[in-house]
Amino acid sequence: MSHFTEFGVDIILRCWIQEEFDTYDHNAHLFVKLQFLKKRSKIMEIVAAKDIIFALAHSGLCAAFSRVTNKRISFLNLSPDEVIRSLFYNKNNDSLITVSVYASDHFSTLKCRTTPIEYIRRNQLDAGLPLFETESLKWPGFVEFDDVNGKVLTYSAQDGIYKVFDLKNYSFLYSIPDTNVQEIKISPGIMLLIYERTPSYVPLKILSIEDGKPLKSFKHLLHRNKKIDFIEQFNEKLLVKQEDESLQILDVRSSEVIEVSVTKFMTPSAFIFLYENNLFLTFRNRTVAVWNFRGELVTSFEDHLLWHQDCSTNNIYITSDQDLIISYCKSEAAVDDGTGAVHKL
């Protein structure tokens, strides 16, 4: 059952299941050696790439299914001790990137691999190639794929350096020393470097994401002895929120600051920026709200609660035109069941 809400009109539609796919295999013991890979577990990620659907289980087992034959093509775990942690469909070259850890390495190092969709379709998984072999991605190192800018950001804690690669051909572009860098935020065309704070301010630097050249460096004043809840970058707007303080929306070009009272804007658990509409979504306690960058609440979806308490953005789908949001919600009629909700943004 799906619950669609648009312009305040509720419509109930019954959706028929077209096909069911199962990642579980009774013969898993023949090709995996880790016990937890042999057991059923929740599906954590689903990626669609043309006529192939990839399903990644919490255990780390990943399967590819054909929408043409409605059958499983294969499992993507090439090694018996491979645990796949995440998937990324690279539209630039029509390939799937898997990020994995291995028992032989005590699950401490991320390994990336790219496989063309065409070869997965033929079940020729050995045609894939390893990526970023020169990088040491041991914890707390990471790799982040930026589809908007067509870039890959890696961090090597061992070498103390961030590197940016081209997502089209994985060529190295430039590096950023991590001296006092606490976090990096990526926005269309730019990167925000957040440095270690002082008691009264946090140093910030904006770089061009194309070549890494500095565009602006500045200090944002802080309330002493108050922890920073978040710092987020959206184009020229900087969102800063400290514990029990108002939200500050800073225009980094004009230095104009808009404040939103803490009674109106409470710290969310997650954000989604709507670049097409110049708005942003906030998720808090199973609720969703839409804000503009003047600090005004545009709308809140009071007629439903998100099903999952963690408000993970993985449970939200937004259309490419960013005019509809689809979420899995708690049903008012049933405690143990949920409905899908579609809202016009």
Q: Chain-wide mean pLDDT for the chain?
A: 83
| Separation of alpha carbons 299 and 287, rounded Å | 11
pLDDT of 334 above 60: no
Domain ranges of the chain: 21-91+101-131, 132-177, 268-345
Least confident of 99-103, 197-201, 323-327, 331-335: 331-335
pLDDT of 21 above 90: no
Q: How confident is the model at residue 41 (pLDDT cuts 50, 70, 90)?
A: confident
pLDDT in tens, 145-201: 999 899 999 999 988 999 999 999 999 999 998 889 999 999 889 999 999 999 999
Strand partners, 19: none
What is the per-residue pLDDT for 287?
A: 80
The percentage of residues in the chain with a pLDDT greater than 70, rounded to a whole number, is 78
Q: Which helix (H) or strand (E) holds 162?
A: strand 161-166
Q: Using an 8 Å Cβ cutoff, are 129 and 142 in contact?
A: no
What is the per-residue pLDDT for 124?
A: 95
Q: Using an 8 Å Cβ cutoff, are 138 and 109 in contact?
A: yes
Which tokens hold the place of 180?
A: 């006092």
Q: Using an 8 Å Cβ cutoff, are 330 and 338 in contact?
A: yes
Least confident of 52-56, 117-121, 162-166: 52-56
pLDDT of 15 above 50: no
Residues 6+ away with beta carbon under 8 Å from 200: 221, 222, 224
Mean pLDDT (whole number) for 139-143: 93
Least confident of 18-27, 46-55, 196-205: 18-27
Work out the angle at residue 80's Cα, subtended by the Cα atoms of residues 75 and 81, and round it to the nearest 5 degrees. Answer: 115
Mean pLDDT (whole number) for 39-59: 85
Q: Using an 8 Å Cβ cutoff, are 82 and 60 in contact?
A: yes
Work out the angle at residue 50's Cα, subtended by the Cα atoms of residues 118 and 271, and round it to the nearest 5 degrees. Answer: 120
Mean pLDDT (whole number) for 95-110: 94
Supply the pTM of this predicted model: 0.79
pLDDT of 254 above 90: no
List Cα–Cα distances, 123 to 75, 168, 207, 287, 337, in angstroms. Answer: 9, 23, 41, 42, 37
Least confident of 7-16, 113-122, 128-137: 7-16
- Between 20 and 91, the more confident residue is 91
SS3 per-residue string spanning 153-212: EEEECCCCEEEEEECCCCCEEEEEECCCEEEEEEECCEEEEEECCCCCEEEEEEEECCCC
| Separation of alpha carbons 120 and 43, rounded Å | 20
User: Cα 343 to the chain's mean position, in Å?
Assistant: 21
Mean pLDDT (whole number) for 316-328: 70
Q: In this structure, what are the phi and psi dihedrals at residue 330, rounded to the nearest 5 degrees? A: -80, 135
User: What is the per-residue burial (b if ≥16 Cβ within 10 Å, else e) of 299-329?
Assistant: eebeebbbbbeebeeeebebeeeeeebebeb
Least confident of 85-99, 130-144, 150-164, 307-321: 307-321
Strand partners, 130: 113
Q: How confident is the model at residue 25 (pLDDT cuts 50, 70, 90)?
A: low
DSSP 138: B
Q: How confident is the model at residue 131 (pLDDT cuts 50, 70, 90)?
A: very high
Task: Identify the burial level of 35 via C-beta atoms within 10 angstroms of its C-beta, where 0-12 means exposed, 13-18 middle and 19 or more buried.
Answer: exposed
Q: Using an 8 Å Cβ cutoff, are 208 and 222 in contact?
A: no
- At position 310, the amino acid (one-letter code) is D
- At position 111, the amino acid (one-letter code) is K
